[in-house]
Chains A and B, each alone.
Chain A
Amino acid sequence: MKRTLSLLAYAVGALMRRPGKSFALAAGLALAVALVSAVLFLTDALRADADRARDAVPDLVVERIVAGRIATMRATDLETLKIPPILSVSEIRPRAWGYLFVPALQGNVTVVSSPMSEPELDSRAIDDGRDLKPGAHEMVMGRTLAHALGVVIGDQLQLPSPRLAAPPLKLVGTFSSKVDLIAADVIACDESDARALLGLPTDEATDLAITLSNPDEARIVSQTIASRLPGTRIVEKDLLSRVYALAYGRRSGIMLAASIPALIALLLLAWDRASGLGPEEKKEIAILKAVGFATADVLTTKMLEALVVACAGTAIGLLLGYSWVFWFGAAGLRPAIAGWSAIYPDQALTPMVDATQLFAIAFGVVAPFVALSIIPAWRAATLDPMEAMRG
């Protein structure tokens, strides 16, 4: 132990004798680790956040496709599905929702008719104010949207709509910041107001949400629906995870590809380690051997030098990557992977990374870095000291 500590002290001294090189190596490694780890942390967090409320999603959603685009479902479609009843279908709910372009924001908001069958939202879901009452021309909106529109509880708002009949709505509550990631741009109102805003006739619906008594039969039920309503698109709940994995995985892949220059810098650092030692270092090794260092001691010293640099660089890199994403909101990186919007939720993301994954990333960086430093050190350590000193 004492011997190892003495060699460690010597290794630190050797690094301090070359402060510029040591700092450049550690800083380059830290930056590359920070960039790559931040992309991985952010992607994992987004995927998990998107998947977290999956229990609330209907088992099946049926949409009508006309000319390759989504059209509204008609009352006759609903009847076709209801009669005769399909086994395992416990509820078919026509939904009225859609997008409304708000010129003041230069962006779309999502207008949703709140199903009155659902229990009233409590203070955990609504930060400020209360849940809406049907028939009172009220609305609840996302906190970020209310902030962007500059409205407060009690304000009346006339939203632009294709129909002049759309009444002004009174803001009675804002969704909690805890749900901002899914509801930042949402305006929830009762069905008649949503239809008026969206210009959706009473005998039509945006889509049909289907709840099954046995979700395992989703595939069979969707086949039955497809045979009764040819040309419809049926979205199964199970496919959602795949959508999120594809969307965020693809974006992080593009981001990682864009960060190839940083990775090349890391490879250059590794190459610098692998390509051999400079004449000064060779001379230093020769002197060590001349004063009695064994080859194993020289190798241990060089390995400890590399280990100190790799540990410092990786620790700082992971700390930078983590804090960038989860403490400072991934400024600059988030729009590239998460998406951009006129109404953007600033809710903090939840880290999904655990100790095992962190240790795996650290091992993946430190192990090759140290291994690459041993080869040239071994080559130099086996040289004849006299020859090495002569250069």
Chain B
Amino acid sequence: MNARAIFGAAVLVLLPTTLLLLAADARVRRDQKQTEIPTLVAVAKRLPSTDLALSGGARWLRTPSLEEPGAAFSDGPALPDPDPAGGAVSPPRAVWTEEARNGQTTGEAK
């Protein structure tokens, strides 16, 4: 067979082979992690939450599940919001406007 054809076929086979190897590696690592879950749960029972210890700079980042909502600025005046929200998806302004209008109408009726 032509060397170029062999090279071409090898490149075409490279993709599924890579995918299968990565999937196998992921599977091995997942199975290994599965055996560690009882240990993880035993330690987690002593902790306030199972939030990941990845951001210890402020309490709302260390344990986001337990901290008060809307307190991102409370630990330092004029600090930038470290975890900004709402930038990509805007709030449902039309719904709010409609609600406000309905509220006004109801108020006037009363």
Contact = CB atoms under 8 A, between A and B. Distances in A.
B100 interface: no
Contacts of A345: 53-54
Given A247-B83, A342-B56, A353-B23, A182 B14 contact: no
A108 B50 CA distance: 17
Contacts of A43: none
Nearest to A26: B11
B103 interface: no
B50 A362 contact: no
Contacts of A326: 25-26, 29
A56 B42 CA distance: 7
Interface residues of B, number: 64
Most chain B CB within a 10 A radius of its CB, from A16, A115, A121:
A121
B37 interface: yes
Interface string B68-92: 1011001000000001110110000
Given A112-B46, A206-B48, A350-B30, A312 B19 contact: no
Given A9-B8, A183-B53, A68 B42 contact: no
B93 to A, nearest CB: 20
B7 to A, nearest CB: 6
Contacts of B70: 68
B83 A351 contact: no
B5 A6 contact: yes
Contact of A352 (B26, B45, B85): B26
A339 interface: yes
Given A5-B9, A240-B50, A315-B14, 4 more contacts: A107-B57, A125-B43, A247-B64, A359-B19
A101 B7 CA distance: 60
A319 B54 contact: no
Interface in A132-176: 142, 175-176
Contacts of B43: 53, 121, 125, 175-176, 179, 182-183
Contact of B62 (A8, A108, A362): A108
A119 interface: yes
B57 A341 contact: yes
A355 B11 contact: no
Contacts of A307: 12
6 contacts: A8-B5, A69-B71, A110-B48, A235-B66, A311-B11, A311-B12
Nearest to A99: B59
Contacts of B99: none
A55 interface: yes
Given A121-B42, A304-B8, A362 B47 contact: no
Contacts of A95: 48
B95 interface: no
B56 A343 contact: yes
A55 B47 CA distance: 12
B67 to A, nearest CB: 7
A366 interface: yes
The 10 closest A-B pairs by CB, nearest first: A339-B55, A56-B44, A355-B23, A351-B26, A9-B5, A53-B44, A341-B56, A339-B54, A9-B4, A8-B8
Contacts of A63: 66, 68
A253 B86 CA distance: 11
A341 B53 contact: yes
A65 B2 contact: no
Interface in A79-116: 95, 97, 99, 107-110, 112, 114-115
Interface string A314-341: 1100110010001000000000001111
B8 to A, nearest CB: 4
A314 to B, nearest CB: 6
B39 A178 contact: yes
B47 A341 contact: no
A254 B87 CA distance: 9
Given A250-B85, A311-B15, A355 B20 contact: yes
Given A68-B71, A254-B87, A179 B50 contact: no
B32 to A, nearest CB: 8
Contacts of B4: 8-10, 12-13, 16
Contact of B53 (A57, A110, A355): A110
